[in-house]
Amino acid sequence: MSTQTKSKASESSSNAMLLLITRLHFYIGLFVAPFIFVAALTGTIYVITPQLENIIYKDVLTTQSVGENQSLAKQIAAARSYLKSDLTLFAVRPAPEKGDTTRVMFLDPSAQHSGARAIFIDPVTLNVTGNLAVYGTSGILPLRTTIDFMHRQLLLGEFGRYYSELAASWLWIAALGGLFLWYKGGKKNKAEFASRTEHLRKRRRHYQVGLCIFLGLIFVSITGLTWSKWAGANIGTLRSSIGWVTPSVDRDLSASSHKTMTSDEHADHLNHPSHKHAQAKQPAEKFENTDLLFDGVLNAARKAGIDANKLEIKPSSTKDKAWFVREIDRSWPTQVDSVAVDASTMTVTSRADFAIFPIVAKLIRWGIDGHMGILFGLANQIILAAFGLSLCFMIIWGYRMWWIRRPQACSTSKPLLQAWSRLSTLQKVITTVIAIALGFSLPVMGVSLVVFLLIDAYRWKLQ
């Protein structure tokens, strides 16, 4: 084969790959972008509402009482006396600062979404300031819980999780494809922009915004996938197989030696920790005066170095299990140390300190908290809000571009499969292997890709 022939073949393969990625990017934009838009918009609303929630529930979360805090046992007794039914207490969060209220939390199937209810107690006067459903490690209240579930599942239950997984599965592909198209068409676009037609102005904005938020697109896509149902399960299996797990304490008191367990970093987007399991494993006999042990367990944890203001105490459900005390401050610096306490001897039997977590576990913790907008406080919220709105506008400009250049009636653009058929043999093999691997790793992406190809095959047949 002559040099000129090889050059033409190489150019043809390159053009075919460019066309293939162009068509795939278009399909993602046309069919998946609406889901990405909803996820970005609801996620933006979620990260900008903590201050609003603090204002709405100010009378519940704070108190003007002055004086020494009474014991946790008395605060729990006040919460129990307020309840009209006998609910199972599963955790207590002492007032973190002067002027804050204590949360005494009970399992309650009637609490929408979370299955948990908090009775808010003034630690000085023992007055009840509120009775609200709470959710997740952040302890978000009904307003943000509704927004959270809208972002996560469109309030459609488990079925709705497919929408967010679809968006997260394709977002990083769309970002990489857009970067490739910008790189390949850079010179051509630069020359065309001089004409400043409406279409080209929209395309320039689309490209520029995409470049500015490119790393953010990859970040939220990957961290979002870890919460997903199918891809998240595969990611969890992979992490376990290679040792990328987050250490936690062992609460088993019957074991002669305590081993390191693993914890779930996604408590904020899952059912409140162990609700269903706690309900299923209620002991046949309850400890007498269990509430009286909270103060002693807290004191033992404090002596063991649990020094964060924000912490949670979970009693054991059976005599062979230790109590669990953990820090829940996800801001910077991160305070998420935890200990297991044997309530019969008030000794710490196991601990997990964030300072000695493997670097991968730390990065995962920070990544999830950054995704939720709580890692760096207000700065994190502002950055995520700007990112989310930019993504929404980029999608709008993308649709505007398509509308201006949409095919005329009775005409169709080149199908995806037609572009794939023009690839070289090696390129066909590589793209097929990648598609199959991603389809199995990210099942929702795999199913949607099959749908794309079926639609594309029908369009190709029409031509």
Cα-Cα end-to-end distance for the chain:
33
Residues paired with 130 in a beta bridge: 120
Per-residue pLDDT tens over the stretch 235-257 = 999 998 998 889 999 999 986 44
For residue 259, pLDDT over 60 is answered with no
Per-residue pLDDT tens over the stretch 346-386 = 999 999 999 999 999 999 999 999 999 999 999 999 999 99
Question: Residue 226 is encoded by which pair of tokens?
Answer: 């870890």
Q: Where are the domains of the chain?
A: 3-48+157-227+377-462, 61-140, 242-282+291-372
pLDDT at 267: 60
Strands 102-107 and 128-133, sheet pairing: unpaired
- For the residues 418-427, what does the mean pLDDT come to? 91
pLDDT at 205: 79
Confidence of residue 207 (pLDDT cuts 50, 70, 90): confident
Confidence of residue 462 (pLDDT cuts 50, 70, 90): confident
pLDDT > 70 fraction of the chain, expressed in percent and rounded:
85
pLDDT at 420: 92
Residue-wise DSSP of 191-234: HHGGG--HHHHHHHHHHHHHHHTHHHHHHHHHHHHTTSSHHHHH
Per-residue pLDDT tens over the stretch 320-347 = 999 999 999 999 999 999 999 999 999 9
**Angle 198-212/161-184 helices, nearest 10 degrees?**
110
For residue 5, pLDDT over 60 is answered with no
Number of neighbouring beta carbons within 10 Å of residue 451: 11
210, 182 contact by CB (below 8 A) = yes
| Chain-centre distance for alpha carbon 34 | 19
pLDDT at 269: 58
* Closest to 405 (Cα-Cα) out of 203, 186, 187: 203
Strands 338-342 and 347-352, sheet pairing: antiparallel
* Closest to 266 (Cα-Cα) out of 232, 243, 221: 232
* Closest to 210 (Cα-Cα) out of 38, 21, 395: 395
**Long-range CB contacts for residues 299-304, cutoff 8 Å, separation at least 24:** 299/346, 300/341, 300/346, 300/347, 300/348, 301/325, 301/339, 301/341, 301/348, 304/339, 304/341, 304/348, 304/351
H-helix or E-strand spanning residue 453: helix 443-462
Confidence of residue 277 (pLDDT cuts 50, 70, 90): very low
pLDDT at 257: 46
CA-CA-CA-CA torsion sign (428, 432, 438, 441): negative
Exposed, middle or buried: residue 111 (CB in 10 Å: 0-12, 13-18, 19+)? buried
- For the residues 59-71, what does the mean pLDDT come to? 96
pLDDT at 304: 97
Per-residue pLDDT tens over the stretch 12-31 = 677 889 999 999 999 999 99
